[in-house]
């Protein structure tokens, strides 16, 4: 039976936290439900001046282009203000056997022909001494040459190759804040939440602040970062640690200036394996962001810092002026993300190491889901929460599987970290089942049950075959028509790569032009 409380309209949304999560959610909700005087939805964001956002999170996924466009941001403004550059995927160095020639790519552009056919089995039959990614994707060649994914005349948010961004996390939040306040009517409060008050039913009624305000709302969105103020501290929703599967729990981060104004800007995030984790290396338009994510069970903080310094020293980047910052990471996620009238998004909901930049994309997906599921009245919230929790539990499980895949396929034996990563008990059953399945079947759309997967079958193909996994497809499932097609597509790929080499500017050249002239608006 419908109660009086069930009919309470959801009109006021309060977001706690002004990091990347808070402002992305604010932007998505406020642009989807524009204010109509007193009649619409009101979005307010509160953040504490005493607790700054985490300030890391520089690698993104191509979904960010759609999100920024949807909330009305001009790509030129974003690139200029956030010192952003174009990211076209990830390059993995020394992940397979640790040798000097050990490198492979996970580009953002799908393998050629992917929309129509699974060509992976045919490439496996006849790889012609070329890696999977080089054979079926022109983007590896673009990235090797440090080229941009588009030209200055290519309209905003479109590309000749699929791309995301590397961005300055310290500038991204304030950029979104200004946009949300000025263009989307989001209300903004600087204050510290000191107490949470509940109704008799257990919903949050208001948040008491240091300055004596009572911030009431119908829906509260917890974007309070690792402090997990509402979902963790107030509701006590259990945290499911994934440390037994993915061992990373700490990071050292550092910012590296470019040696000259002409220095090349990388087209991919470079992830270089170390004794007890891996180093990320990201080229923004004004500097690089570098960091070592490591497992404290295998190396001390000092030992990890020394390894990071060796990495920098080998590239001529080590200097006494550098300032290294240590960050603790709690690997895992909440048992549920939406409970009563509160949803957690961003680090408060969970975090798994930054390999493959899955955190910001999950924030985008969460914001979109909240906007899509938002009920008109309180009565609809329980079902919205159920659906949201089921979807995101599934997404976190898939992310864990996909990241673990990178470690499971490694053949490195030079440290316990890499050996233990292959221990059977550290591998989720779901991933083991997939690996068994992929022994004679190449990953394909139907292998995953959701319409919108964080990592598609194409991503699995790039990692599996980039790392030398062997699938042995049954010959009676293959045919001559697709054998001819793969040959044709491989030639097409090589020709297109050549054409792009001759026509694309370097990242540096394009970003300089964007600064001077801007990209064409769509």
Ligand X SMILES: Cc1cc2nc3c(=O)[nH]c(=O)nc-3n(C[C@H](O)[C@H](O)[C@H](O)COP(=O)(O)OP(=O)(O)OC[C@H]3O[C@@H](n4cnc5c(N)ncnc54)[C@H](O)[C@@H]3O)c2cc1C
Binding site for ligand X (CB under 6 A): 16-22, 46-48, 51, 53-54, 56-60, 169, 192-193, 223-225, 227, 229, 251, 253, 291, 293, 327, 329, 346-348, 351, 354, 357, 359-360
In the bound state with ligand X, the residue whose beta carbon lies nearer, of 20 and 285, is: 20
In the bound state with ligand X, the residue whose beta carbon lies nearer, of 58 and 75, is: 58
In the bound state with ligand X, the residue whose beta carbon lies nearer, of 111 and 225, is: 225
Query: To the nearest whole angstrom, how small is the minimum distance from the Cβ of residue 112 to ligand X?
Result: 27
Whole-angstrom Cα distance, residue 227 to residue 229?
5
In the bound state with ligand X, the residue whose beta carbon lies nearer, of 279 and 385, is: 279
Query: To the nearest whole angstrom, how small is the minimum distance from the Cβ of residue 52 to ligand X?
Result: 6
**DSSP letters for 129-143:** T--HHHHH-THHHHH
In the bound state with ligand X, the residue whose beta carbon lies nearer, of 291 and 443, is: 291
In the bound state with ligand X, the residue whose beta carbon lies nearer, of 56 and 458, is: 56
Contacts of residue 480, defined as CB under 8 A and 6 or more positions apart, other chains included, come to none
Query: To the nearest whole angstrom, how small is the minimum distance from the Cβ of residue 27 to ligand X?
Result: 13
Report how far apart, in Å, the C-alpha atoms of 522 and of each of 85, 97, 233 are: 20, 46, 45
In the bound state with ligand X, the residue whose beta carbon lies nearer, of 51 and 520, is: 51
Rama region for 340: left / alpha / beta (φ>0; ψ in -120 to 50; rest):
left
Cβ atoms of 355 and 273 within 8 Å: the answer is no
Query: To the nearest whole angstrom, how small is the minimum distance from the Cβ of residue 517 to ligand X?
Result: 29
Cβ atoms of 270 and 91 within 8 Å: the answer is yes
Cβ atoms of 366 and 282 within 8 Å: the answer is no
**DSSP letters for 211-242:** TS-EEE-SEEEE--GGG-IIIIIIT-PPEEE-
Task: Return the CA Rg of the chain.
Answer: 23
* Residue indicated by tokens 């004794």: 275
User: What are phi and psi for residue 71, nearest 5 degrees?
Assistant: -90, 5
In the bound state with ligand X, the residue whose beta carbon lies nearer, of 77 and 192, is: 192
Helices (H), 162-300: 169-184
In the bound state with ligand X, the residue whose beta carbon lies nearer, of 341 and 348, is: 348
Query: To the nearest whole angstrom, how small is the minimum distance from the Cβ of residue 162 to ligand X?
Result: 17
Query: To the nearest whole angstrom, how small is the minimum distance from the Cβ of residue 424 to ligand X?
Result: 28
Query: To the nearest whole angstrom, how small is the minimum distance from the Cβ of residue 250 to ligand X?
Result: 9
What are the beta bridge partners of residue 492?
none
Identify which of 121, 57, 100, 134 has the alpha carbon closest to the alpha carbon of residue 359: 57
Whole-angstrom Cα distance, residue 271 to residue 96?
12
Strands (E) in 427-471, as ranges, are: none
Cβ atoms of 58 and 167 within 8 Å: the answer is yes
In the bound state with ligand X, the residue whose beta carbon lies nearer, of 176 and 427, is: 176
DSSP three-state, residue 399: helix
Query: To the nearest whole angstrom, how small is the minimum distance from the Cβ of residue 430 to ligand X?
Result: 23
Contacts of residue 426, defined as CB under 8 A and 6 or more positions apart, other chains included, come to 244, 245, 404, 420
Query: To the nearest whole angstrom, how small is the minimum distance from the Cβ of residue 350 to ligand X?
Result: 9
Query: To the nearest whole angstrom, how small is the minimum distance from the Cβ of residue 60 to ligand X?
Result: 6
């Amino acid at each position: 039976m419908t109660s009086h409380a069930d009919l309470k309209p959801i009109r006021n949304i309060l977001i706690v936290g002004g990091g990347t999560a808070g402002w992305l959610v604010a932007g998505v909700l406020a642009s989807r439900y524009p204010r109509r005087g007193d009649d619409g939805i009101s979005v307010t964001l509160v953040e504490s001046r005493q607790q700054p956002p985490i300030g890391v999170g520089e690698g993104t996924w191509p979904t960010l282009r759609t999100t920024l466009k949807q909330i009305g941001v001009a790509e030129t403004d974003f690139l200029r203000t956030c010192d952003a550059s174009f990211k076209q995927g990830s390059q993995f160095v020394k992940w397979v056997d640790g040798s000097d020639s050990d490198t492979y790519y996970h580009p953002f552009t799908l393998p050629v022909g992917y929309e129509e056919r699974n060509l992976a089995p045919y490439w496996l039959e006849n790889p012609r001494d070329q890696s999977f990614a080089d054979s079926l994707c022109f983007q590896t060649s673009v990235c090797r040459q440090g080229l941009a994914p588009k030209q200055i005349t290519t309209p905003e948010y479109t590309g000749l190759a699929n791309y995301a961004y590397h961005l300055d996390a310290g500038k991204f939040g304030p950029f979104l804040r200004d946009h949300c306040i000025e263009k989307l009517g989001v209300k903004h409060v600087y204050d510290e939440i000191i107490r949470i008050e509940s109704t008799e039913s257990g919903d949050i009624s208001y948040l008491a602040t240091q300055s004596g305000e009572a911030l009431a709302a119908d829906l509260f969105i917890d974007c309070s970062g690792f402090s997990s103020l509402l979902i963790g501290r107030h509701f006590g929703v259990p945290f499911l640690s994934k440390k037994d599967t993915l061992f990373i729990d700490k990071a050292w981060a550092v910012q590296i200036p470019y040696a000259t104004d002409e220095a090349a800007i990388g087209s991919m995030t470079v992830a270089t394996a170390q004794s007890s984790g891996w180093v990320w290396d990201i080229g923004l338009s004004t500097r690089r962001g570098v960091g070592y994510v490591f497992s404290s069970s295998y190396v001390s903080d000092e030992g990890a810092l020394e390894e990071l310094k060796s990495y920098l020293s080998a590239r001529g980047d080590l200097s006494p002026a550098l300032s290294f910052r240590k960050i603790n990471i709690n690997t895992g996620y909440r048992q549920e993300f939406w409970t009563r009238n509160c949803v957690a998004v961003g680090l408060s909901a969970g975090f798994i190491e930054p390999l493959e930049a899955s955190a910001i994309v999950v924030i985008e997906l969460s914001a979109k889901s909240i906007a899509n599921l938002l009920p008109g009245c309180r009565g609809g919230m329980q079902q919205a929460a159920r659906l949201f929790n089921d979807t995101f539990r599934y997404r976190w499980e898939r992310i864990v599987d996909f990241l673990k895949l990178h470690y499971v396929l490694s053949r490195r034996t030079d440290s316990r970290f890499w050996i233990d990563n292959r221990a059977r008990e550290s591998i989720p059953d779901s991933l083991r089942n997939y690996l068994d399945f992929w022994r004679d079947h190449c990953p394909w759309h139907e292998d995953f049950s959701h319409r919108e997967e964080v990592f598609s079958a194409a991503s699995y193909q790039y990692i599996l075959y980039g790392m030398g996994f062997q699938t042995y497809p049954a010959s009676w499932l293959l045919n001559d028509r697709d054998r001819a097609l793969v040959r044709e597509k491989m030639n097409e790929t090589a020709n297109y790569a050549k054409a792009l080499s001759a026509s694309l500017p370097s990242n540096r050249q394009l970003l300089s032009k964007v600064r001077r002239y801007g990209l064409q608006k769509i």
